[in-house]
Structure 1
C-alpha cells in the first residue's frame, strides 16, 4: 500500500517517480497565487498600526531641555520658556528638532 500521491512509471527497467501530477501543479499554482495576496492583506492591516505608533512615539513626545544661547531670565520668559537654575528651559522640546 502506497501513501504517496506520486505516480510511478517503468522505463528501461527503472522506476521513475513523477511528482508533477495535475493535482500537484494546481495546488502549487493556487499556493503561489494566494500567498502574495494574503501577504499584501496582512501588511496593509499592520502597516498603519506600526506607522501610527512610531509617529506617535517620535512626533508627540516632548522633553525638557536647556537652551544654551539664552542666558538672561527676561529674554527666556519673553520667548515662552521658563527660567530655573540660571538656565532657560524649553519644556516642549521635540527630539526631532
Structure 2
C-alpha cells in the first residue's frame, strides 16, 4: 500500500501493518469527535511516526497513486476534520 503524508512524500507499507494503523486511526477519530486537542496532536503524531517507522520512503521523484493520504504533522484538528469521511483516514 502507498501512503502519502501531506507535505512529506510517499511511503510504501506492507498490508500487514493495516491493523496497527487502523487502531491509531480509530483513536484519532474519537479524539476529534470529543474535541480532545491534546489527544489529537499525540495520536496524529503516533500515526505519522508509525507510517514512517514501518514504511519505506519512495524516492522524491516517484509519483505513484496513493491509497491513503494522511495530514501533515502540523495540521489542525479542524483541517483534519475537513479531510475525513465517515470511514476515517484509513478505510476499514
Q: Shorter-normalised TM-score: what interval? A: under 0.3
TM-score normalised by structure 1 residue count: 0.22
More strand by share: 1
Higher relative contact order (CA 8 A, sep 6+): 2
